[in-house]
Amino acid sequence: MKNSFHFKIGGQAGEGIMSSGQIFTKFAARSGYWTFDFVEYPSLVRGGHNTFYATVSAEEVFCTGNHVDLLIALNQETVTLHRDELNPGAGVIFDPDSFQPESIRGVKFWPVPLLKLAQTAGHRLMANTVALGAVAYLTGGNLKILKSVLTDVFASKKKEIIAGNHRAAELGYEFAKSKFLPLGDFLGAKKSLPRMLIGGNEAIALGSIAAGVKLASIYPMTPISSILHFLARFEKEAGIIYFQPEDEIAGISSAIGAAFAGVRSLVATSGGGFALMSESLSLAGITETPLVVIFGQRAGPATGIPTWTAQEDLLYALTAAQGEYPRILLAPGDAEECFYLTAEAFNLAETYQTPVVVLVDKFICEAHRTIPRLAFGRVDIKRGKMALSSFSPAANKKSEREIFPRYRLADDGISRRGFPREGRIVKVNSDEHNEFGLSEESIKNRNDQLEKRMKKTAGLSQLIPAPSLYGPAQAEVTLVGWGSTKGPILEAIKELKANFLYLNWLRPFPAQSVSRILAKAKKTLLIENNYQGQLGQWLKMQTGIEIKNKLLKYDGRQFYPEEIVKKIRSII
């Protein structure tokens, strides 16, 4: 994590930690830098310790490390909890009227009367903006850019609030300038291509919109709630309905009903909600109803530590729900993949007429980073085999000739989809059914229909893109991982003789390419945010290859590159 600047703000929940942090990263992004940020918080509305953490660099950043160059401490607890993360030469901004921190060797303390200056600017709530003004000076940043961010962030508020925040930023900047020397030139304005600063959840929401989602029925749950917040806020601009169901079962049921009626529909949840949904996943399987399910993992079991991250649900998500039907699972590892793979999930769901699970986790959902501009034009829409407009009831000479043959047998297993409308009777059925959707339990029909469904994805594993191998082709050790470990692993291998086999299409599994890559590896190392090494187990089932070296972490915290580097060094 060389040439990066690490920023942290900590205090009590409810003190505006998250919004101040986001103003900071937007300021850095607009100044031309790459950023990555995330927030840690307990499952509380008020009280409890919250921290916001950002890394800023002139080069692309994939995650944060566990060290800090500049800390805004809104209370003593913040200094106590994070003192070991402070780099030599780091600095701490605090309000001397609030508390007096004990000194730490090699660390600068910058007393800034945050509250007093905020009151001068207009309101005590602007204290964090005073601190950000001081940060702008201490990091060589441009106050004008900070003010432009404040203007946009508070755009919906009264003019006095924008003016007050501008004043607060100026007061913080001027105060720091009159008392302290800058920490260094970390945020001096640079020219760069415009980049988006976006979280995984928002990228998922945008990917769904770009793919033409029409109904999202999502019950709130950490860590996916901000998907529904975005969709609810932009219902009209996106041309969709966001529907808040009474529970997750209703959510997935309504999404299935809507897909049957002809629109692209979306649900999102975490492990507990997914458990409630799983019977209906199977319903989508047998009725051949397209559906996209976003599954944002958090650390369980049951409620577990619900605001922390984990990759504990891979094997569960891969196999949940009764019966055999074709299953597809994609696992994006960052915000950009969240956008494109979510959009792709809609195409797969409609092409193969089956549910598609998009598996992410808290560290992807709620972390934000700068990425190249997301373009909806890069998303193709493929709706699969649809009813021919020439279909007329009389053309079908079988006994039920007026019913649309929704489940007609086909070589590739994929029947044409038709939606109920005037003159077109469409029947779908959770019971085993014949081509007209009428219940039928004969041996021949059961075999025909089940084989038809299972055939649908037979060729899919050949069509999916080969997994990425990051880093040098020849390496001392090949790391294997998926999902949110991607960022810390990419950061870790920057300076080592290691490469990284990254998997984001997990079912169907790209068994041949994975076997080919692993056959060439000198040593292998599995990295996962769980206890059992679940990708390792799945990979062994699919390829017969066992990865013996493992780095597993299940404390609810994401990996830091330093931990991975240490493990690699111990193997090489």
Partner 1 sequence: MTVKDYETKVTPNWCPGCGNFGLWQALKQTLVDLRADPGETVLVAGIGCHGHMNNFTKISSFEGLHGRPIPIAVGIKLANHRLQVIVSTGDGDCLGEGGNHFVHACRRNHDLVVLIHNNSSYSLTTGQASPTSSLGYQSKSTPEGKKVEALDPALLALASGATFVSRGFSGDVPHLQEILKAAIKHRGLAVVEVLQPCVVFNKDQTFDYYRQRIKKLARPYLKRGGAIRACLAKNGRIPIGIFYQQKKPSFESRLDQIRKKPLVRQSLRNFDWDKLTGEFY
Min dist. Cβ of residue 22 to partner 1 (A): 10
**In the window 2-41, what residues touch partner 1 (CB under 8 A)?**
30
| φ, ψ of residue 415 in degrees (nearest 5) | -90, 160
Choose, by CB under 8 A, the member of 402, 451, 546, 555 that binds partner 1. Answer: 402
Report which secondary-structure segment, H or E, holds 44: none
> CB of 283 within 8 A of CB of 430?
yes
Choose, by CB under 8 A, the member of 189, 263, 511, 572 that binds partner 1. Answer: 263
SS (H, E, C) 375-411: CHHHCCCCCCCECCCCCCHHHCCCCCCCECCCCCCCC
Count of beta carbons in the 10 Å neighbourhood of residue 234: 15
Report the length, in residues, of the chain: 572
Min dist. Cβ of residue 569 to partner 1 (A): 38
Cβ proximity to partner 1: between 240 and 414 the closer is 240
> CB of 51 within 8 A of CB of 40?
yes
Binding segment toward partner 1, per CB under 8 A, in 132-140, 354-362, 433-441, 562-570 = 433-441
Report d(CA 26, CA 30) in Å as an integer.
6
SS (H, E, C) 104-171: CCCCEEEECCHHHHHHHHCCHHHHHHHHHHHHHHHCCCCHHHHHHHHHHHCCCCCHHHHHHHHHHHHH
Cβ proximity to partner 1: between 280 and 542 the closer is 280
DSSP conformation class of 124: G
| φ, ψ of residue 375 in degrees (nearest 5) | -115, 120
Choose, by CB under 8 A, the member of 188, 420, 465, 472 that binds partner 1. Answer: 420
> CB of 261 within 8 A of CB of 420?
yes
421 binds partner 1 (CB under 8 A): yes
Amino acid identity at 109: F
Report d(CA 138, CA 117) in Å as an integer.
17
Min dist. Cβ of residue 207 to partner 1 (A): 11
Cβ proximity to partner 1: between 164 and 285 the closer is 285
Cβ proximity to partner 1: between 10 and 212 the closer is 212
Q: Which single residue is written with the structure tokens 């997914």?
A: 274
Q: At what angle do helices 127-138 and 17-30 cross, to 10 degrees?
A: 30
Q: Mask 208-247, x = binds partner 1 (CB under 8 A)?
A: -x-xx-xx-x----------------xxxxxxxx-x-xxx
Min dist. Cβ of residue 7 to partner 1 (A): 20
303 binds partner 1 (CB under 8 A): no
Q: How many residues bind partner 1 (CB under 8 A)?
A: 70
Min dist. Cβ of residue 192 to partner 1 (A): 12
> CB of 169 within 8 A of CB of 133?
yes
152 binds partner 1 (CB under 8 A): yes
Cβ proximity to partner 1: between 8 and 406 the closer is 406
> CB of 367 within 8 A of CB of 199?
yes
432 binds partner 1 (CB under 8 A): no
Report d(CA 188, CA 30) in Å as an integer.
11
Q: Which two tokens stand for residue 265?
A: 């529909």
Choose, by CB under 8 A, the member of 422, 443, 473, 544 that binds partner 1. Answer: 422
Q: Mask 157-196, x = binds partner 1 (CB under 8 A)?
A: -------------------------------------xxx
Cβ proximity to partner 1: between 239 and 465 the closer is 239
**In the window 347-376, what residues touch partner 1 (CB under 8 A)?**
374, 376
Min dist. Cβ of residue 426 to partner 1 (A): 5
Cβ proximity to partner 1: between 2 and 144 the closer is 144
Cβ proximity to partner 1: between 259 and 480 the closer is 259
56 binds partner 1 (CB under 8 A): no
> CB of 227 within 8 A of CB of 267?
no
572 binds partner 1 (CB under 8 A): no
Report d(CA 292, CA 275) in Å as an integer.
16
Min dist. Cβ of residue 399 to partner 1 (A): 5
**Contacts to partner 1 by CB under 8 A:** 30, 152, 194-198, 202, 206, 209, 211-212, 214-215, 217, 234-241, 243, 245-247, 249-251, 253-265, 279-280, 283, 287, 374, 376, 381, 399-400, 402-403, 419-431, 437-439
